[in-house]
Amino acid sequence: MHLYRVCPVDPDAAEGSPYHPGSVPRSSGQQRIDNPDRYDTLYLALSAAGAVAERFGLFAQWGDWLLEHPRGFTAQLVTFDLSDDRPLLDLDDAGELVARAMRPSRVVTRDRTTTQAWAARAHGEDRWAGVSWWSYYDPDWTSCGLWCPPGASLIEGLSVVGVEELGGEHPAVGEAGHALLRHWY
C-alpha cells in the first residue's frame, strides 16, 4: 500500500533522525489520534493530493512560502510503502463502526478527547498498524495515522520509496488546489 506525507526534508538527514523523510515526530497530544503516553503517530494520506490538502488546507493562499522551513529545508512529498503484515483499521467501513458502536460523526469530530479515546481502544486491540478515515477536506481522500512506540523514530514495515519537490506545477498540488479552490501564487 502506498501512503503519502508532505513534510520538511533534510536531504542530509540519516535514517531515524529528525527531518529524515521517514522519521516519526513525537506526538504532541493535540491531533486526532494522538496518545503520546501509548504511542507516537505518523499522519499520512492514501493519495498525494490528500497529503497536500492535509498539509496546506488551512491556508487561504498557497505559494512557495508554504514550502519553506525555518531551518532551511523545504517541504517535500514523500511516498511510502506499507507492508501488508498489519492492516489499517478502516473507519470508513460501516461494519467497523457498528462493531465499535461509533457514529461517523465521532470519527471526524474536532473533540480530541473523543477521537483520542477511540484511537486508544483501537490501538489496544493490537491488530492494526493504525487507523484510516475520510479526509476533513474531501471525503474521497483518505487520511490515516500509523502508530509507533513512543520515542522510536521509524515504523516497522514502512519504507520511503520516493521524495518529490513540490510547487504550483506539481499534479498533487493542482488536484488538491482544484478541490479546495486554492491557487498557487
How far are the Cα atoms of 31, 86, 98, 131 from residue 126, in angstroms, in the given order?
A: 21, 9, 19, 12
Is 121 contained in some domain?
yes
Residue ranges of the chain with per-residue pLDDT less than 50: none
Alpha carbon distance 120, 117 (integer Å): 5
CB 151 within 8 A of CB 14: no
Containing 153, the helix (H) or strand (E) segment is none
Per-residue model confidence (pLDDT) at position 154:
85
Give me the pLDDT at residue 152, please: 87
User: In the beta sheet, which residues pair with residue 74?
Assistant: 9, 68
Check: CB of residue 50 under 8 Å from CB of residue 141.
yes
Alpha carbons within 13 angstroms on the beta-carbon side of residue 146 total 29
pLDDT of residue 163: 97
Q: Torsion over CA of 46, 52, 54 and 56, rounded to 10 degrees? A: 180
Any domain includes 142: yes
pLDDT of residue 39: 96
Tell me, what DSSP letter sits at residue 66? G
Residue 97 contacts residue 34 (beta carbons within 8 Å): no
Which range of residues forms the domain containing residue 126?
Answer: 2-180
Whether 185 is in a domain gets the answer no
Alpha-carbon distance 121 to 100, whole Å?
10
Q: What is the pTM of this model?
A: 0.94
**6 vs 2, 20, 49, 56, CA distance in Å?**
14, 12, 10, 9
Number of structural domains the chain divides into: 1
